[in-house]
Every structure is written in structure tokens, then in C-alpha cells.
A and B are shown apart, each in its own frame.
Chain A
Amino acid sequence: MKNYVFQRLVYLVFLLWLVSVVTFIVIELPPGDYLSTYILLLEQNTGQQLSEDIVERLRRQYGLDLPTHARYFKWFGQVLQGEFGFSFDWQQPVREIIGERLVLTFTIAILSAIFTYAVAIPIGIYSATHQYSLGDYVVSIIGFVGLAIPNFMLALIMLYVGFKQFGVNLSGLFSPEYLDAPWNWAKIGDLLLHLPIPIIVIGTGGTAGLIRVLRGTLLDELNKQYVITARSKGVGEVRLLFKYPVRVALNPIVSSLAWLFPSLVSGGTITAIVLGLPTAGPMLLRALLAQDTFLTATLLMFITILTVIGTTVSDILLVVVDPRIRMERAAN
């Protein structure tokens, strides 16, 4: 067990390094470099052309005269010291503008995960124990539609219904009066009022998938002989259900957390753009379109790092929860 956790942590460090490489590739990908954008900006602001000499000095300052791998190590060294560069678009150091947005992003992702499980597990169990009943059909149909409807469309429909039926604008995470207010209890309360819509939108797709998986495995388990044995011994239906088959059927659900979490962060990005949430997604899109390289890279890096950490934690949790996997992995 300790061995396994240690292994995972070593692997995590390796993953984090890979993240930095991918991020660096993304920085290098766009045609032209960020310096040309910056120079253009400077020229626009000052209204005069920069001399060759200054351009050359800037290039050296940003290390653009170095070969690629040297640039990577220079950038990587800065990142390790918590130095993420300067956002041209926001005219602020990247470090100062991303913190709150990242916290909100992952708060929403984690809450969506909780929502997904809280809805999927009871419905999945109901739908398997009442196979082919009206409820089962209704849930299945809703589940399929939830699977097929793109996140952003669901968000749009919710906005539309909220606006037409109730006359309220459901977008954003804060009411206008709290937008720039410092954090206090009233602001948190306001946040809680705005959270359900994005959480429902982001969680729906995953919920539909989980219900299908849970229903399928539970149906398989319910036909097994140990269930018949238990029943013939006189174990009550409810107790029987929760004592054996549900516990077995929950396993794939627990292990799904590893892919669910990235997909929630991913779905959160586009939902946040449609709903205008102050999270990392809209900021990333804006930074990309403005070629604000350092901001893009840092956001992408943190979104990925936090997701990878989330996946690792869920992997370790799975081993804690499921003795069979514990044995299997310990053997390796």
C-alpha cells in the first residue's frame, strides 16, 4: 500500500514535468513569437518604431536568441521560482490575476463531481432494480439526451428559459454589487445562489454516463448466483441489495472519477464561457485570442496540473476503497 502510494507520487512528479513540456510546446506553437506581439503593442502605444538595437535587447532579455531547449530550461527555472511572466493583455503579472479564477474553477469542478455522484448513484440503483418500469424508461431517455446535448447548448437553453419564464439573467457567478467586493459572508451567500446553474449544466453529461454504467453493472450483478443464495437464506431485499450487489457495482463508478474529473474541468471551460463565469475558461480563451502567451501557458499549466493531481488522488482513493485492486496492485 505505502509502496503503491509512493509509486504514484513518483509518477505524479514525472507527469508534472510532462505538463511543463506540453505547456512549453503550446507557447512555441503559434506562428511568430510573443515578442512580436509585444513589440507591436509598444509601437502602438508610443506611436514610433522601435530601433533595431532595442528589439535586439528585448530578444536577449526574453531569451529568444537561445536555442529551443535552452529557452525551455530558462522558462522552466522561472516557473519553479513561481515566476510566470507578465500578461500583456491585462498589464499585470500573471501570478496576481489567476489565483482566484483557478480556485473558482476547481471549486465548481469538485462540486460538479459531487453533484454527479449524488444524482447518478440513486437513479442508477433505482433504474436497475425497477428495470423496464416507467421510471426506468424516463430516466434512460433523459440520460441519453443528457449525453447527447452539448454543454454549451444546455447552458444556452437554461439561460433562455430563465430569461423567458422567470425574467432573470442566470449568467455570471456574482450579482453586480458583489463583483469587485472583497470576500465576506454576504458575497459567499451570493455565490451559492449562482452556483447551481453551472453545476447542473456541467454535471449533466457525466451523470448520464454514470447512470448507464451503474445500471448495466448492477443488472449483471443482480443475476448472479450469490444474490439468489442470499435471497434463499432469507436476507431482506433492501439489506441484500446494499450489502452485496450495490457495493460491487459501485466500483466502476469510483474508478470513473479518474476520467470524470478531467471531463468536468473540460466541460466547465466551455460552460463558463457561455455563462460568463469568472473562472479560468473564459480567461484562457481571451488570452489565446489575444496571443497573451504567458497567461495562456500558465493557465493551461495550472488547469492540467490540478487535474493530474485530482486524478492521482482519485487513483489512490480507489486503492483505499477496493481491496481487490489493492491486492492486485500490491502484487506488481
Chain B
Amino acid sequence: MWRRLLGRRQSNKPATVQYDESYYLASQWQLMWRKFRRHRLAMVSLVVILFLYSLALFAEFYSINDPHKRHVKYAKAPPHTLYFVDEDGNFHLVPFIYDLKQELDMDTLQRNYTEDRSKRYHLRFFVEGEPYKLLGFVDTNIHLVGVDEPAVYFPFGTDDLGRCLFSRTMHAARISLSIGVFGVVISFVLGCLIGGISGYFGGTVDLIIQRIIEFIISIPHIPLWIALAAALPDEWSSTQVYFGITLVLATVGWTTLARAVRGKLLELREADFVMAARISNMGDFDIIVKHLLPSFASFLIVVLSLSVPGMILAETALSFLRIGIQPPAVSWGVLLQDAQNIRSLSQSPWLLIPGIFVIVTVLAFNFLGDGLRDAADPYKQ
């Protein structure tokens, strides 16, 4: 262990590096922030995550149409193409779309859409549209983009019922993004509590808890989740289902956190700096608050940020199988239900777009967690 640490220090810290005074005066968190800022991928991911959460928070502002409104004239319409150059080759700074005209193919009975090139509809920003309450209490009707009537703009196309997939994706971000954080919080409380007990008491209690955790980890999760989620009563409201699903996900999620907390507790209890503080006649409370918690908190943040994507993926999978979040509530998994069979998928491949949001979110959380881990590691320069 020691040789490894020393070896790393030698190889990673060239003797020539000079730090200015602020480096030596910086607190632990400031040092971490410095290191984190240098991790470019993690910084980008942080921005992406903040952006995604802003989508969830201001979903009504970003969405163009009412997510539940059925545009019968535009059922299964493909995404609109944004143009900058018109038919005559003139360039326009503000992009525009052409309205779509539906035609029924009499042979295959499929709807085909053609662009009506006679009139351009330019995008307009901060337009007035459907009234809504921003953040739940500010009455307004301003939306980010829109086009003039009678055209309707569908950046991601529409589903079978003619509902705007873009607006639905924005609204779905709410459940998809919050359930991950919320589930992790529940797992975190359970994990800290049980892991703490396990690490603090040790002995037989520790042994039993560790065996139970191992057992839960060795059960295939998805069958277990499916079984638990299917056991939620049908008559529950969507809020109840939301909490139910979160609890189901947390039944497995807490194990990882409990293991991490226990391991860290056992390690830190024996650490030299704790012994040093004890010898310096520092009180137990001060040791916990001033030494243990700071060295622990960064670690916990890392573990937490790395467990969010698993939760998001699990919710998506359950909702995709129609046993998670129930319509009319929407999450990305619920939206992906429409792409479940090869026929609808081959006719309207844009139904997979909500999945891209899932992938981007999961990637961003993974990179963020990596960056945080590097930043929190005091041996990495």
C-alpha cells in the first residue's frame, strides 16, 4: 500500500512544478474545484447536466406545443427540416420550415408527408402561446420558439396520435431526471444507515448485513424489479406510482452505497490522521466534523453521482415495459414504448429520439462522476 502511494507520488509529481501562493492557501474544496476544472470532459458534462435539468425545470417554456394535444392532421409526421436557404437560393439568417401536407397512399394505406414549398414559416423566438405557470406559480405564455399559424413546428416529429414528440420529451425529462436523484437520495439514506451500523458495530451484525447485501447483489435485478413493480396496485395515482417505483429501485440501489460507506468507515477509523487528532486531544465530535466528514463527503458525492445513471436506466427500462410510470404521466421510458415493435419503428424511427436523451444523460453523469473522483483523489495532481 505505502510503496504504491509513494511510487505514484514520485511518478506523478515532477519536482519542477511551482505553485503560486494561492495554491498553498486554498481549502480542500477549492483544491478539488481547481482539479475538477481541468477535467475538460467532466466540465462539459456538468454543463450538459445543468442544461438537461433546466429542460426539466422549464419544460413548458422550452416546449413548442401542448404535450397532450393531438394534432390529427399531423399523426406520425416526421421531424421538420430546418432550412436556411430557400428555393431560389437566397440565404436567410433566421431558419424556416415548410408546412407538411398529408397524403394517404392508397396501396399501402400509409400516411406520407410532403413539404408545401409555397410558403416559408420562419422560426420566431419568445413567442406567445399556450398559457402556463412557470415553476408552478408565475403566470405566463411565452415559449422559446414557435412558428406562425397555421403551421405547427415539430422538431422531433409526432407519435401515432399526432402529439408533439419534442414537447413530450421536454416534459418527460421531469420524471426521468428527478427519479434518478430521488432514488439515489433514498438509497443514500438507507445505505448510510445500514452501512454505518455495519461498519460501526462490526462483528456478527456486520457479517449478517454483508451477507444480505451480497445476496441482494447476486439476484438478477431486472426480474426482481419487474416483480416488485408489477405488485404496485393498479388504482394508484401517478404520484403514488412515482414514489412506488422510486422505492422499488432503491431496494437494490442502497446495497452499493451501504458497501461503500462501510468500507470507508472501516478504513478511516484506523487512519493515521484520526489517530493523530485523537492524540492531540481532539474531541470525538470535532474529529467527526472537521476530519472525517470532509474526507468522506467528497467520496460520497462521487459514489452518488455514479449511481444516478443506473437509476435512470432502470426507470427507463421499467417504463418501457409498461410496468413503471403510467401514462398520461410521461417519462423517456414511457415515450419509448411507442417504438416497441419493428413495424412502428420502421415507419417512424424518430420515436427513438427520447432514447438519445437517456444516453446523453447517462454518459454525462458517468463523466461527471469520473471527473469528481479524480478531483477528490488527493494523490492525483
User: Which residues of A are interface residues toward B (Cβ below 8 A)?
Assistant: 11, 15, 18-19, 22, 26, 29-31, 144-145, 147-153, 156-157, 159-160, 163-164, 169, 171, 223-225, 258-259, 262-263, 265-267, 269-270, 273-274, 281, 284-285, 288-289, 296, 299-300, 303-304, 307-308, 311
Contacts and interface: CB of A to CB of B under 8 A. Distances in A.
Interface in B1-59: 7, 11
A225 B222 contact: no
8 contacts: A147-B363, A148-B359, A148-B360, A159-B345, A263-B221, A266-B221, A284-B226, A288-B226
B220 A163 contact: no
Given A150-B358, A258-B218, A263-B220, A160 B345 contact: yes
Contacts of B217: 259, 262
Instruction: Give the bracket for the number of chain B residues in contact with chain A.
Output: 35 or more
Contacts of A164: 346
B342 interface: yes
Nearest to B351: A156
Given A153-B352, A163-B346, A300 B313 contact: no
A232 B366 CA distance: 39
Residues of B contacting A: mostly: helix
Contacts of A267: 222
Contacts of B78: none
A284 B230 CA distance: 11
Contacts, number: 130
B346 A269 contact: no
A75 B75 CA distance: 52
A307 B219 contact: yes
A15 B220 contact: no
B66 to A, nearest CB: 27
B222 A156 contact: no
A258 B360 CA distance: 29
A15 B352 contact: no
A209 B227 CA distance: 27
A311 B218 contact: yes
B97 interface: no
B313 A266 contact: no
Contacts of B352: 153, 156-157, 160
Contact of B223 (A156, A169, A303): A303
B349 interface: yes
B192 interface: no
A178 to B, nearest CB: 20
Given A148-B309, A163-B346, A29 B228 contact: yes
Contacts of A289: 230, 323
A153 B218 contact: no
B230 to A, nearest CB: 4
A242 to B, nearest CB: 23
B336 interface: yes
